[in-house]
Amino acid sequence: MASLPLSTVAITNISSLSRPPRLPQPPHRLTISCNTSESHPGKVDRRNLLLGMGGLYGASNLILPGAAPASPIPAPDLAKCTRGTNLNLRQPLDVDCCPPFSENALDYKLPSATDIRVRPAAHLADNAFIAKYEKATVLMKALPADDPRSFMQQANVHCAYCNLTYDQGGADPSNKLQIHFSWLFFPWHRWYLYFYERILAKLIDDPTFALPYWNWDNPKGMAMPSMFVKENSPLFNPRRNQAHLPLTNPPPYADLRFSKKSSTPQDKVVPSNLTEMYSEMVRSAVNLEDFYGAKYELGAKPDPGAGTVERGSHTAIHAWVGDPNSPAGEDMGNFYSTGRDPLFFCHHANVDRMWSVWRDLRGSKPKEFADPDWLDTSFLFYDENAQLVRVKVRDTVENLKMGYTFQKVEIPWLNKRPKTKARVRKLKVAEESSAPKATDASVFPVKLDKVVRVLVDRPKRKRSKGEKEKEEELLVIEGIEVDTSEFVRFEVFVNDEDDGPSDVIDLAEYAGGYSQVPHKNAANVKSKMRLGLTELLEDLDVEDDDKILVSLVPRDGGEDITIGGVKIIYV
């Protein structure tokens, strides 16, 4: 019953797609298996590869009998979890985060959602709620260490899926699974919180229990929620940035453009955060891929590109909470340890809420991918009965069908479209600039140990309203290579002439930022980021210009960032 309406949703969205389906990944990203078998449903059939070479792969409606063109990532094989792995931080660190082994994974069916749990905003939660949450967490921490529902085992779930401990499931066993930096980010974390929440609820035998969300997109909720900082509470964790605890009046607000070297001054943090949220949720998140992250299917390398929220506010909170005096930013500031801080789940409940809010803003535009490579990607979790279950992305698209919703609060960033300061006319900035062209062979690749400015050609100008609605103009920063064991951040500005745009808080010139939570490295991974330009160019009044001046501004770890190129596309 439960899966039927979901598939109806997917079909509806196929027919409402106004744009042609995305081009398939080039054949070299596929892995070939000579013996496709039912136990490895994700392996790519050679026939499909041949089909791809023949150019027919892109015809999405063409499904030959017996051939399955999709190649979603299958649920990981627990037996192949790499135990005692070196997480490749700067200092050697061996953490075993593999789950207890179990052979029998059941296909998970969403229970029919009759009573809807309501996740409260953490800053509005009352004492009765906090008492329940504390009690449930105490009980979770008291479970035997090898119980997959115990607090440390739950923390390790994040480590296992985020530090390349599982095989991805394709033909190449060295290609490991990474559920960040791609379109798996929102669905995987939704499942993770879903089971964590159900385990807590079951421990206190309260089916209405729901995780609180840290409402960091709203000034009223921007401080670290106080229920997590009482020293005798099970929600307390000493491994946090002590300068960011809510112990002063007013308390420090989380900086959604945080970097350790240049954080936003506290008196500017609210406008800066609201601009950031507007950019992540509206201005730069027009296409599905830009919000969700890039396609990541069987055979693909990790980190094809994170979505706006993942690489922005989400990463900023991790880095803002983690303890800068611990060896690797523990706990929140590193993927292997982040699940050890109860605050992680409160943070991610708001990330999860952002997904629901964004969908609500979409109107008639597609709200999720219709691509089976996304819908049929599978994961394994232990449920509240310690039963191993296999879940799919397709069951995550609507939180109500999963039995929960969010306490409604105002959304203060919705009307925060940034404005150019009246005194700064951005016309002619590019024309008068002496910066090199992005296409000059000498420019890229470049290390971001300094501000890098380039002129980028705009293939289309003076686009009509209809053209803009049909195609978003996107600035693509590609070939991004970073040291993944370090926190890094850089920001991108358009037609900004100042040398140190650190004063830029809510200006139209800010196109977006890239940041990353440290994690285990996969060698030679190049990522990309796409930034929406359509609104930005309107705001700067430069839609007639045939080029723009792009500034890449390192904020943290610039010496560890290399950029491969910058260009404009229309999608």
What are the residue numbers of the active site? 158, 180, 189, 314, 318, 335, 348
User: Quick one: how far is CA 92 from the chain centroid?
Assistant: 27
Q: Which is nearer to ligand C2O, 119 or 318 (CB)?
A: 318
Q: Which is nearer to ligand C2O, 190 or 453 (CB)?
A: 190
Q: Which is nearer to ligand C2O, 257 or 318 (CB)?
A: 318
Q: Which is nearer to ligand C2O, 75 or 203 (CB)?
A: 75
320-339 footprint of ligand C2O as x/- string (CB under 6 A): ------------------x-
User: Quick one: how far is CA 333 from the chain centroid?
Assistant: 15
Asked if residue 43 binds ligand C2O (CB under 6 A), the reply is no
* Cβ proximity of 292 and 184 under 8 Å: no
Total residues contacting ligand C2O by CB under 6 A comes to 8
* Cβ proximity of 395 and 110 under 8 Å: yes
Task: Name, in order, each residue with C-beta under 8 angstroms of 502's C-beta and a sequence gap of 6 or more.
Answer: 262
Q: What's the closest the beta carbon of residue 335 comes to ligand C2O, in angstroms?
A: 6
Q: What's the closest the beta carbon of residue 313 comes to ligand C2O, in angstroms?
A: 11
Q: What's the closest the beta carbon of residue 487 comes to ligand C2O, in angstroms?
A: 13
- Of 180, 240, 257, 295, the one binding ligand C2O by CB under 6 A: 180
- Counted residue by residue, the chain has a size of 571
- Of 43, 132, 158, 190, the one binding ligand C2O by CB under 6 A: 158
Q: What are phi and psi of 79, to 5 degrees?
A: -65, -20
Q: What's the closest the beta carbon of residue 304 comes to ligand C2O, in angstroms?
A: 16
Asked if residue 353 binds ligand C2O (CB under 6 A), the reply is no
Sign of CA dihedral 213, 214, 218, 219: positive
Q: Which is nearer to ligand C2O, 273 or 495 (CB)?
A: 273
Q: Which residue has the tokens 């990522």?
A: 527
Asked if residue 519 binds ligand C2O (CB under 6 A), the reply is no
* Cβ proximity of 25 and 298 under 8 Å: no
* Cβ proximity of 264 and 258 under 8 Å: yes
Q: What are phi and psi of 217, to 5 degrees?
A: -90, 5
- Dump the DSSP string for 297-336: -TTPPS-S-B-HHIIIIIHHHHHHHS-TTSTTSTTTTSTT
The span from the CA of 556 to the CA of 503, in Å, is: 16
- Of 162, 306, 482, 566, the one binding ligand C2O by CB under 6 A: 162
- Of 314, 353, 367, 530, the one binding ligand C2O by CB under 6 A: 314
Q: What's the closest the beta carbon of residue 124 comes to ligand C2O, in angstroms?
A: 23
Asked if residue 318 binds ligand C2O (CB under 6 A), the reply is yes
Asked if residue 340 binds ligand C2O (CB under 6 A), the reply is no
Sign of CA dihedral 22, 23, 28, 33: positive
Check the annotation: does 180 bind a ligand. yes
Give, in order, the Cα–Cα distances in Å from 143 to each of 340, 382, 386, 543.
15, 14, 12, 60
Q: Which is nearer to ligand C2O, 341 or 560 (CB)?
A: 341
Q: What's the closest the beta carbon of residue 135 comes to ligand C2O, in angstroms?
A: 26
Residue 530 tokens read as 């796409």
User: Quick one: how far is CA 94 from the chain centroid?
Assistant: 26
Residue list, annotated binding site: 158, 180, 189, 314, 318, 348
Interface residue list for ligand C2O (CB under 6 A): 158, 162, 180, 189, 314, 318, 338, 348
Residue list, annotated binding site for Cu cation: 158, 180, 189, 314, 318, 348
